[in-house]
Structure 1
Amino acid sequence: MSIYDSYLHIPEWRFMDESISARNRSALESFAADDTLCHLVGQKMSTPTIRTWVHDNTVVLGIQDHRLPLINDAVSMLENKGYKSIVRNSGGLAVVLDEGVLNISMIFTEQDKSIDISTGYEVMLEFVRMLFPEADGQIEAYEIVGSYCPGSYDLSIDGRKFAGISQRRLRQGIAVQVYLCVEGSGSERAELIRDLYEVGLQGEETKFSYPAIKPEVMASLSELLGMELTVNEVVIRVQLLLQFLANDVVIGGFQEDEMELYSFYLHRVFERNKKMLI
């Protein structure tokens, strides 16, 4: 048993599944939901929570992406290809969301003890490994050069990335977020982000070094495991795993008394994004 397993084996998990209900809504709503859960869990107004979410064709830009010299041209290119653009409030660079990408947010409180950044990453890595036993020890965490949104916690099998992890900290709550490319072509998603940088840079020199995308280093779990894995099946795996990890799993969305807080964070996220994409 890993030392990080103690964060997963707890008396009660809260589970919110928005893998279907959020698809045609703005991905900004998901970042507002995670901010709300950070507040609720951080202040012990809710038990630790796992939320699953999926959004239709959206490119989530990082702060540095928003500073691309020709970002407006890049956003127009994405729109022409059927993708919306938003700027997220957690770290990292551009990622692709679509119906074949499952996002999992895991929210903890730091009220009892501080949780350092590496611990948050390791707990999510442990959870993903438990979700996919057929990978049988093949899932590794290190930076995959040539992938989009590269980082030290890129998750890969045989050197091909299928997931990345980020963190958001607010009001003593920590949201550890992973995007899992479950279905479809990982390299096609990478080609879209490669095009984003080509159009957004057009050869201009910048202080920030944007990644040189190599589509062949990215793949979906379906491709890597050689099986027809679906987002819905992975959501079911998440729920079954939580039932194994906890004595009790409370299922459901925000309660009536939590909606006011959600509305506050939703307004804040939308206002911030509006300023970023002017």
Structure 2
Amino acid sequence: MKNWKDIIRHQSFRYIDHSVHTEIEGKPNTALTSFAVDDTLAISVSEETSPPVIRLWVHPNTIVLGIPDSRLPFIDEGMQFIEKNNYQAVVRNSGGLAVALDEGVLNISLIIPGGKNLSIYDCYEAMVRFVQAMFHDLTDEIKAYEIVGSYCPGDYDLSIKGRKFAGISQRRVKNGISVQIYLDVEGNSNQRAELIQKFYTKGKKNKETTFTYPDIDPKVMGSLSELLGITLTVNDVKKRVIHTLKKLTDKIVEMPFQEEEKMNFEKRYKQMVKRNQTN
């Protein structure tokens, strides 16, 4: 297996913290905005007008849906269930299936160039290595393999002793790559899983579908706080992100959106709005 420096050879990183709920370029700081931001940064990284980026984001009571979720046979009933539980739904533009976000879930985007020469697996491996480095002092048991029964299952589910706490998705724009991970840090992971479980029950019922949707077992998922047996907050993990980044790179820069980025963001935001209107 490759380590971080086999894949990430850049010595400078741009750090962006969008985990606080302030507007981003005049738009509400929602998951819909976040996916437009990541596309914008992927373009900048692709065009070499920005160094690679680590971006943090947190969104309250949001169900992020994959494109296949939007094609559930009874999707309208599924959406009504989400709204009745005081969550908002956003259909993302990256891979994966339904994920539950709230204030106890930290999302990290790793945005790097290399779309023409880095494999999908290389990029997943980079994120796995980063997360393992973040928690190396607490555990050496973070593994990457599919956790059957979890929501948004995949080969790069991250787990401790067979219980999943994180999932990774990926999107490529031009030569830029956005690798996105959610980390279930604190709060009620069982409740999150039950919410997604009931969403699929409402949205699929017992109808046969060509796409195989996950059969969710909340017991196979857990928060990092629960799995590590310590009190861990999102703020604690944010500190671990910056600490790990300092160890893995020579220079960290913080810079506001440039004029070209502002224009690209407007375009990408409109695309996300349109995607969510048609889905």
Deviations 1:175-223 (A, max 9, x none): 0110000011222111000000111112112111111100000000000
Counterpart among 43, 46, 69 of residue 42 in structure 1: 46
Task: Tell me if structure 2 keeps the 8 A contact 1:141–1:153.
Answer: yes
Q: Normalised by the size of structure 2, how large is the TM-score?
A: 0.94
CA 1:212–1:168: 2 relative to 1, 3 Å: same
Structure 2: state its 5+ residue gaps: none
Deviations 1:122-149 (A, max 9, x none): 0000000001113432000000000000
In the other structure, the counterpart of 1:166 is: 169
Structure 1: state its 5+ residue gaps: none
- In the alignment of these two chains, the number of paired residues is 275
RMSD, aligned α-carbons:
1.7
- Range with bigger deviation, 169-178 or 2-11: 2-11
Counterpart among 235, 238, 241 of residue 235 in structure 1: 238
Task: Tell me if structure 2 keeps the 8 A contact 1:42–1:173.
Answer: yes
Deviations 1:95-122 (A, max 9, x none): 01110010000011127x6100000000
In the other structure, the counterpart of 2:14 is: 14
- Amino acid paired to 2:95: G
Q: CA deviation at 1:245?
A: 1.7
Q: CA deviation at 1:252?
A: 3.8
Q: Structure 1 residue 28 and structure 2 residue 35: aligned?
A: no
In the other structure, the counterpart of 1:51 is: 55
For residues 245 and 120 of structure 1, the distance between their equivalents in structure 2, rounded to whole angstroms, comes to 16
For residues 92 and 77 of structure 1, the distance between their equivalents in structure 2, rounded to whole angstroms, comes to 21
In the other structure, the counterpart of 1:122 is: 125
In the other structure, the counterpart of 2:210 is: 207
Q: Structure 1 residue 70 and structure 2 residue 74: aligned?
A: yes
- Amino acid paired to 2:85: K
- Amino acid paired to 1:5: K
Q: CA deviation at 1:30?
A: 0.3
In the other structure, the counterpart of 2:201 is: 198
- Percent pairwise identity: 50
CA 1:235–1:252: 2 relative to 1, 3 Å: farther
Task: Tell me if structure 2 keeps the 8 A contact 1:8–1:245.
Answer: no
Q: CA deviation at 1:2?
A: 4.8
Q: Normalised by the size of structure 1, how large is the TM-score?
A: 0.94
Q: CA deviation at 1:79?
A: 0.6
For residues 2 and 208 of structure 1, the distance between their equivalents in structure 2, rounded to whole angstroms, comes to 32
Q: Structure 1 residue 142 and structure 2 residue 145: aligned?
A: yes
Task: Tell me if structure 2 keeps the 8 A contact 1:187–1:217.
Answer: no
SS in structure 1 of the partner of residue 137 of structure 2: helix
Deviations 1:227-276 (A, max 9, x none): 11111111111112222222210024423442111111111111122111
- Amino acid paired to 1:20: V
Counterpart among 78, 89, 106 of residue 85 in structure 1: 89
- Range with bigger deviation, 171-180 or 234-243: 234-243
- Range with bigger deviation, 243-252 or 119-128: 243-252
